[in-house]
Structure 1
Amino acid sequence: MIIDIHGHYTTTPPGHQAFRDAQLVRLDDPSRPAPPPAAISDDAIRESVQNNQLKLLRERGGDLMLFSPKASGMEHHVPDAATARDWARASNDLVHRVVGLFPRHFAGVCQLPQTPGGGLDDVVAELHRCVETLGFVGCNLNPDPSGGHWTSPPLTHPYWFPLYEAMTELDVPAMVHVSTSCNPSFHTLGAHYLNADTSVFMQFVEGDLFDRFPALRFVIPHGGGAVPYHWGRYRGLAMRMGRPDPAEHLADNVFFDTCVYHQPGIDLLHRVVGADNILFASEMLGAVRGVDPATGIAWDDTKQYLDRAGLTDAERHHVFEANARRVYPRLDARLTAEGR
């Protein structure tokens, strides 16, 4: 079985964005009534997915995708808590409907209603709702709700502990994923995303988070940003600070996906990190679309790169299926109940 653990609903019907636009207009003019979520038909949802993510998933040989709201559309930098709560709920409900229409091909991962410096009560409540009521198997966690200004404490800080307690109770992992950059120095897709991946890994290297929460699991996307390329730097810094070797210290808690869009990058990720801590992912129809003219391969068709990476049969099984079922135990339970 081939499980793609990183997919976003980037092709939502237009009404969903219209709802968001109306939310933002109301923030500028509070005299307006709060807008209701868009009325979107099942046919509109089917059309938005069948000719996009589902079509590519089938064509590229995948079986199931973990599906979450559009990452850049989470827009956690908007400070109003009620707006964030309603936007997350509407976005997650739409993903839930996709899963209900295509249950063999999608599983839900939720957006959290984060705001810059905001409390976590709504965040924890939405996680519980999505996991316990909607059957989601994980969440996306933004380490920088400010959108590129980094006003939040590191992920090792006690500020985040209420969320980690809920994640541990529910036995779900978080993918570390920022949203839109509001800082013109950091391009959202080309800089901010990768900055966050790299920064969070260093936070984990420095901290003792997993001593307190040994069952906590994080997926760092986009191949870990700069981490595999600079693995020696992180090992050296860890030793200089009297910290354990990251390969041992983080092996049970931190994992990397394969959203790396060229062959040398995938090869390096495999050699440095190893198959036990890599999960197959593509983020298809996300940041990088189209075909590489030098190879004729779609940038985000990461399975083709893995097929050429020299993995053994056992390594392929880990990367394409077993690691996803281990890191996302609620997904494993669902698939097992379905006889898959």
Structure 2
Amino acid sequence: MIIDVHGHYTTAPPAHQGLREAQLARLADPSLPPPAPAAISDDAVRESVERNQLKVLRERGGDFMLFSPKASGMEHHVTDPATARDWARACNDLVARVAALFPEHFAAVCQLPQTPGGTTDDLVAEVRRCADNPAFVGCNLNPDPSGGHWTSPPLTDPSWYPLYEALCELDLPAMIHVSSSCNPAAHTLGAHYLNADTTVFMQLLRGDLFTRFPGLRFVIPHGGGAVPYHWGRYRGLARRMDLPDPAESLLGNVWFDTCVYHQPGIDLLTRVVPAANLLFASEMLGAVRGADPVTGVAWDDTKTYVDAAGLAPDDLRRVYEGNARRVYPRLDALLTP
């Protein structure tokens, strides 16, 4: 089985975005009535997925995808907690419907109702609500709800601990994933996403988070940002700061996905990061669309690149299936029957 751990519902029916626009309009003008829930039929959900993510998944030889709300659409920079709660619930209920309609191909990953400077209370409540549904196997955690201004404490700060306690109790991993950038100096897809991946790795390197929470599991997407390319820098910094080598201190709790959109990048990733710490992913349909005009391969057809990376058969099986079932035990429970 080939499991893609990083898919987004970027093709949700228009009524879903209409709800968001109504929410933002009411924040601008509180005299407006509260927006009604979006009326979206099962047929509309089916059509939005069958013609897009499911179609491409099948065409490229994939079998299963972990499906989360549109990352840039989480918009955690919006400061109203009640709006964040309602929006997260609406987004999560929608991906849960996808998983219910296509249980042989999708499991759900939940969005958290984060806001700049907010507490973890609402995050814990929503992750517990979602965990009551066995279709949810993980969550997305935004280390920078401010949207590119980095006003939140690092993920090693104790203010995050209540969330980590809940994730460990529920046996849920978290994918590190920011949302839209509000900083014009940091493009959302080309800078902010990769900056966050790199920044969080350095936060984890300097902290003792996994000593406190040995069962906590993080997935750093987009190939780890700059981390694999600069692995020697992180090892050297760890030595300079009298810290353990990252291979010893982090790789028991941190995994990287394969959302890297060219062959040399995948080749580097698979040579630097052990196969036991790689999870197959494509992020489709996500940041990059279309095909490389030089090779003719779709940018996000990461299976083509992984197949050509020269991994041993056992390692390839780990990357495509085994690691995902180990990192996401609720996924393994869904697939085992």
Deviation at 1:135, TM superposition (A): 3.0
Matched, 1:29 2:29: yes
- Secondary structure of 2:269's aligned partner: helix
- Residue in 2 that maps onto 1:313: 313
| C-alpha distance after superposition, 1:176-228 (max 9, x if no partner) | 00000000000000000000000000001000000000010000000000000
Query: What is the CA RMSD across the aligned residues, in angstroms?
Result: 0.6
| C-alpha distance after superposition, 1:86-110 (max 9, x if no partner) | 0000000000100111000000000
Matched, 1:221 2:259: no
The code of the aligned residue for 2:31 comes to S
- Residue in 2 that maps onto 1:68: 68
1:1-340 matches, cutoff 5 A? 1-133=1-133, 135-336=135-336, 338=337
- Secondary structure of 2:132's aligned partner: helix
Q: Determine the C-alpha separation between the residues in 2 that align with 1:128 and 1:16.
A: 23
Question: Is the contact between residue 7 and residue 282 of structure 1 (CA under 8 Å) also seen in structure 2?
Answer: yes
Question: Is the contact between residue 4 and residue 62 of structure 2 (CA under 8 Å) also seen in structure 1?
Answer: yes
| C-alpha distance after superposition, 1:233-273 (max 9, x if no partner) | 00000010000000111111000000000000000000000
The code of the aligned residue for 1:166 comes to A
Question: Is the contact between residue 275 and residue 318 of structure 1 (CA under 8 Å) also seen in structure 2?
Answer: yes
Q: Determine the C-alpha separation between the residues in 1 that align with 2:179 and 2:37.
A: 21
Q: Determine the C-alpha separation between the residues in 1 that align with 2:146 and 2:33.
A: 26
Instruction: State the identity as a percent.
Output: 77
Superposition misfits of 4+ residues, deviation over 4 angstroms: none
Q: Determine the C-alpha separation between the residues in 1 that align with 2:103 and 2:333.
A: 14
Deviation at 1:134, TM superposition (A): 5.4
Q: Determine the C-alpha separation between the residues in 1 that align with 2:202 and 2:279.
A: 20
Normalization by structure 2: what TM-score? 0.99
Stretches of structure 1 lacking an aligned partner (at least 5 in a row): none
Q: Determine the C-alpha separation between the residues in 2 that align with 1:34 and 1:326.
A: 42
- Secondary structure of 2:228's aligned partner: coil
Deviation at 1:165, TM superposition (A): 0.2
Paired residues, number? 337
Question: Is the contact between residue 96 and residue 134 of structure 1 (CA under 8 Å) also seen in structure 2?
Answer: no
Greater Cα shift, 127-136 or 193-202: 127-136
- Secondary structure of 1:68's aligned partner: strand
Q: Determine the C-alpha separation between the residues in 2 that align with 1:224 and 1:294.
A: 25
Deviation at 1:36, TM superposition (A): 1.8
Stretches of structure 2 lacking an aligned partner (at least 5 in a row): none
Q: Determine the C-alpha separation between the residues in 1 that align with 2:114 and 2:166.
A: 15
Deviation at 1:133, TM superposition (A): 3.0
| C-alpha distance after superposition, 1:95-152 (max 9, x if no partner) | 0100111000000000000000011111101001111135300000000000000000
| C-alpha distance after superposition, 1:266-294 (max 9, x if no partner) | 00000000201000000011000100011
